[in-house]
Amino acid sequence: MLFEIKSPILGFEHVKAMRLERIDDIFLRITNTEGSVPSFTLINPFALREYEFEIPTALELLLDLKNCKNILVANIMVLQKPLEDSTINFLAPLVFNFDNKTMAQVVLDSLEYPQYSIAEPFKNFCEAPKDESQNESLKESASESPKPQDS
């Protein structure tokens, strides 16, 4: 599914649209519609921890979130080998509005959200899973390659 970028992803201000592909219930991938760079693996933060933040009013207006019913929040994950060495950026979530196909990156203030990190180790969420089957499911999902989808 294609999304117009209303507020750029830091470091990739030239990118105007991204394609979102769902890998499974936890992992997603976004890729530039005009080339191979950038491409990011995303993760559903709510599958890992309690995660809450305020979306700035300007971004709410840009994404037209007031009456939106279909919002997705995801975080960029930097994959490493072994997978447990991967990191997650909880300070700059991506917000997707499925109703109007727009997206933006929200940059949170680390002083206002000290519980979140820009490079939170994935192993922090693998070591103490709710149960062992959930831990294995996370690892398997992250290592799968996405299946191509038409949009």
Going by the DSSP 8-state scheme, the letter that residue 64 receives in this structure is: T
**pLDDT of the chain, 151 residues: tens digit per residue:** 999 999 989 989 899 999 999 999 899 999 999 887 889 999 999 999 999 999 999 999 999 998 888 999 999 999 999 989 999 999 999 999 999 999 999 999 999 999 999 999 999 998 654 545 555 555 555 544 444 344 3
Q: What is the CATH number of the domain that holds 64?
A: 2.30.290.10
- pLDDT in the model for residue 69: 85
Domain of residue 16 covers: 2-143
Position 129 in a domain: yes
Q: Model-level pTM? A: 0.82
Q: Give the pLDDT confidence score for residue 151 in this predicted structure.
A: 38
- Residues 89, 98: Cα–Cα separation, whole Å: 22
- What pLDDT, on the 0 to 100 scale, is given for residue 148? 38
The confidence score (pLDDT) of residue 32 equals 93
Q: Quick one: 113 exposed, middle or buried, by C-beta within 10 A (0-12, 13-18, 19+)?
A: middle
Give the per-residue pLDDT at 74.
98
Domain count, the chain: 1
Q: Is residue 148 part of a domain?
A: no
List Cα–Cα distances, 128 to 23, 44, 73, 122, 140, in angstroms: 23, 17, 23, 11, 16
Among candidate residues 144, 148, 131, the one with its CA nearest the CA of residue 19: 148
- 133 assigned to some structural domain: yes
In a domain, 116, yes or no: yes
Decide if 17 is inside a domain: yes
| Residue 149, in any domain of the structure | no
Q: Is residue 11 part of a domain?
A: yes
Specify the pLDDT at position 136: 56
Residue 151 lies in a domain: no
* Exposed/middle/buried for residue 129 (C-beta within 10 Å: 0-12, 13-18, 19+): middle
Beta bridge mates, 104: 7, 95
